Amino acid sequence: MTETKELQQWLTHACQQDVKNLIPLAGDASFRRYYRLQLADQSFVVMDASIERASCVPFIAIANTLRSKGLSVPDIIASDTEKGFLLLTDFGDSLFLKTLTKENAASLYDRALKSLAVLQTCREVPHWEMPYFSKEFMFKELILFKEWFLERYLKFVLSSHEEKMLTTFFEKIVSSIADQPYVFMHRDYHSANLMVLPSNEVGVLDFQDAFIGPVTYDLVSLLRDCYIDWPNEMVTALALNYQNKIQLNVSQEEFLKWFDWMGLQRHMKTLLTFSRKYVRDQNSNYLNFIPRTLNYLLTVSARYPELKQLNSFFEKSNEVSKCAQ
């Protein structure tokens, strides 16, 4: 990671005044670092992506595109994509994750879903080629789930039967997901990346890893959030309301199956991320979210008779995970 001194030197030049005090902010599951910079009566956020410099170019391009659609994203005040430094407007501290309550959930999710409907209309991003969330990419993530979560974190030694069974179900899930309409996909559209702004608008963050992907991916990220959960009746109602909002002409039953099976892939991918942060990076910050994420896999797979074997395997994983916590 670039020394903070180099970042301060860049900020001093960009802001045309001496910059010394940078206040660290909570980061995401990447190697990016974030700071708050206070200058006179104005506050900014600084992104240090010096290890992930390649993320700066898509961040800028996607931010400009989303802003042109009327979405609230940070303005780029200054940038150095060679160094991996960005100076951004500060949206404050009112994350959805910190703000959501039973009383305001309906209102906040309605705003988030309205923003998502707009976001999904962004088919092209000038100056950036959007990657495609292909079957091959999805399958690779599931293989990494097997490696990092099952084998490295839970210490499973999979039998040849279990290996074959998982491969069969991975292929089945991925094939089902690939049948969905493909749209702009934020990829991390959840409570830790959405802000409650004073204007009652939704501030959208952390979109640099966007894909063209399945229509339900961001929806399940938001409604079956790994950081906060809600009763299934509420989640189902919000999902169907969203289907109506975007006027997707499939049956409710089919849409909910899309939503459920997308969640299986999404949550297995999330478990690989949480476990890899712990095993590889010695970062235990995400271990507390593993039980909720595993529970989503258990409850969803239990709804489908054709996933009975997979559900039994998740039950076994859940029992072992409890001991690992």
Q: Which domains does the chain show, CATH number per domain?
A: 4-89 (3.30.200.20), 96-324 (3.90.1200.10)
- Whether residue 254 has pLDDT greater than 80: yes
What are the structure tokens assigned to 133, written together?
């969330």
- Assign 2 a pLDDT band (cuts: 50, 70, 90): very low
Give, to the nearest 10 degrees, the angle between helix 160-178 and helix 252-279. Answer: 130
User: If pLDDT is split at 50, 70 and 90, which confidence band does 27 have?
Assistant: low
Q: Hey, what amino acid is at 251?
A: S
pLDDT per position as a tens digit, 212-230: 999 999 999 999 999 999 9
What's the Cα-to-Cα distance from 42 to each of 11, 118, 199, rounded to whole Å?
A: 14, 30, 18
Residue 14 has pLDDT above 50, yes or no: yes
- Which residues sit opposite 132 in a β-bridge? 212
Calpha distance 37→248 (Å, rounded): 43
Calpha distance 321→323 (Å, rounded): 5
Residue 176 and residue 138 in contact, taking contact as beta carbons nearer than 8 Å:
no
Q: What is the pLDDT of residues 123-138, one digit of tens each?
A: 899 999 999 999 999 9
pLDDT at 1 over 70: no
How does pLDDT run across 147-198, given as a tens digit for each residue? 999 999 999 999 999 999 999 999 999 999 999 999 999 999 999 999 999 8
pLDDT in tens, 88-128: 999 999 999 999 999 999 999 999 999 999 999 998 999 99
**140 compared with 19, residue with greater pLDDT:** 140
Up-side HSE of residue 274: CA atoms within 13 Å toward CB? 23
Q: What is the pLDDT of residue 29?
A: 56
Which tokens is 271 given?
Answer: 């478990």
Nearest to 72 by CA among 119, 37, 107: 119
Q: Each residue of 277-304: pLDDT tens digit?
A: 999 999 999 999 999 999 999 999 999 9
Q: pTM higher than 0.85, yes or no?
A: yes
User: With bands split at pLDDT 50, 70 and 90, how would you rate the model's confidence at 68?
Assistant: very high
User: Tokens at residue 36, please?
Assistant: 């708050």
C-alpha distance from residue 187 to each of 208, 209, 213, 245, 254 (Å): 9, 7, 9, 20, 22
Kindly tell me if the per-residue pLDDT of 64 is higher than 90.
yes
Q: How far apart are CA 90 and CA 44, in angstroms?
A: 5
Confidence check: pLDDT of 16 > 90: no
Report the distance separating Cα 72 and Cα 263, nearest Å: 26
